[in-house]
Structure 1
Amino acid sequence: MEGNVARITLNRPEVYNSFNRDMALLLQQVLDDCAANAEVRALYLTGAGKAFCAGQDLQEVTGENAPTLTKILSEHYNPIVQRLRNIEKPVVCAVNGVAAGAGANIALACDITVAAESASFIQAFSKIGLIPD
């Protein structure tokens, strides 16, 4: 917290802050905690390192027991976007570098999105057989 602003940093810079299951569930919990905390008046969401968020960590969706991309969308990303849209506090997103796939949609679901000159927004869902949120 910085004053009454909850600062949330996606912190997997070695993989451009791409989401895995643990990070998605943690962000859901943090958003719930911020929504319930009366001391939090606003949220500030950003990414560590050179990127905001490269979307899904595709290493997590390989192998026999890997979840389907549809399941990941319904259990990980859609709940995050719903929380961002429903929270009754302003959410500011600061995008540096790439915001790809689900990362771009999360950035755009915030109330205000500020993009650095280095920012780029990429929607590549059709390349993996999905449609954007």
Structure 2
Amino acid sequence: MAILDVNLEAVLPETEQPLPTGDYPCRVADSLLIRSKSGRPLLKLVYDVTHGPFQGRQVVDAMLLDHEAGLTRLKTLALRAGHPAPGRLHDSEELHGLRFTARVALEHSETGQSPPRNLVRAYRPAQDAPAA
């Protein structure tokens, strides 16, 4: 037997269904810098949906930090979320709490062996947030 001394009160269970394609008002809730399977620096961001029928759900986003496309997405997020200096990020926690609108797509695996998942395709300022 393994003794688990863990408080899970604030942890949401995994949802089985991803969000439908659409625009969602979000805030950056968490971030984690990890290494990809190939050893590349990968920033994982967790966004909370803040309004609408999917309020409280989360979307996970990931950006490679050694690739121009990933850096472009990170700067775009910082800019659209209203970071005071989007050209200079020292720590991913500077993004925590910032609000924006995420354009979320639903991706299906080509083989059908993996469940559908959400991908963030675009970021817009929060004041442009339509209902999802």
Place the TM-score, normalised by the shorter chain, in its bin: under 0.3
Structure with the higher helix share, 1 or 2 = 1
Q: Flag the structure with larger Rg.
A: 2
Give the structure with the higher percent strand.
2
Q: Please, what TM-score do these two structures have when normalized by structure 1?
A: 0.22
Larger relative CO (CA 8 A, sep 6+): 1 or 2? 2
